[in-house]
Chain A
Amino acid sequence: DAKTTQPPSMDCAEGRAANLPCNHSTISGNEYVYWYRQIHSQGPQYIIHGLKNNETNEMASLIITEDRKSSTLILPHATLRDTAVYYCIVRVRTGANSKLTFGKGITLSVRP
């Protein structure tokens, strides 16, 4: 899987948008960008994924640059419950190489 780099931490005020960056400059054409998060003492939670188009779901938006070398996860109105470690992963979608490899992620702290 292509390597990703994320800043170690960031904070955000409750109710404001949280923009979490990720660099993946060596991404291959068949690799998707996935975001997961892990709230303390819970299993990882899938958030969103995309290939090259921007994506939005009930949890977040994913903005992928045109060259696909970086992306941003946007939580439009962060709440205290969004405090978690967020992992950006690039991987093929199916098959034997579809196992997830999490790096250190970015710790998002949402402050009241």
Chain B
Amino acid sequence: GAGVSQSPSNKVTEKGKDVELRCDPISGHTALYWYRQSLGQGLEFLIYFQGNSAPDKSGLPSDRFSAERTGGSVSTLTIQRTQQEDSAVYLCASSGGAGYRYEQYFGPGTRLTVT
């Protein structure tokens, strides 16, 4: 079946602009995660959605970052007033669903470059 998709695949923006990154999880998956990966670094957790529960926002680095998940499916990560240190690959993963599969399946990522 279809995997996790993310758009855009690449985004170049000027410092100070707002950006929106989109994630389409695997159909039926109840959990959705956002991570980011800076060049040569490991994964940094940002935010976690599980069903209708309040999201775990503990990984968001500043109040410029926010995310929402509409209808328990598609999620949007918004970065306001982007800074150069926001440049990274933003990865979305989903898990859960029929059979209680808890393994996280990742999308290809959005490479964000802030100039």
Contacts and interface: CB of A to CB of B under 8 A. Distances in A.
Interface residues of A, number: 19
Contacts of A43: 4, 91, 93, 106-109
Interface stretch (B62-70, B73-81, B97-105): B97-105
Interface residues of B, number: 23
Given A34-B103, A100-B33, A100-B45, 11 more contacts: A42-B108, A43-B93, A43-B107, A43-B108, A43-B109, A45-B106, A49-B103, A98-B48, A99-B45, A100-B35, A103-B42
Contacts of A45: 106
B56 interface: yes
Interface of B is mostly: strand
Contact of A104 (B42, B45, B102, B106): B42
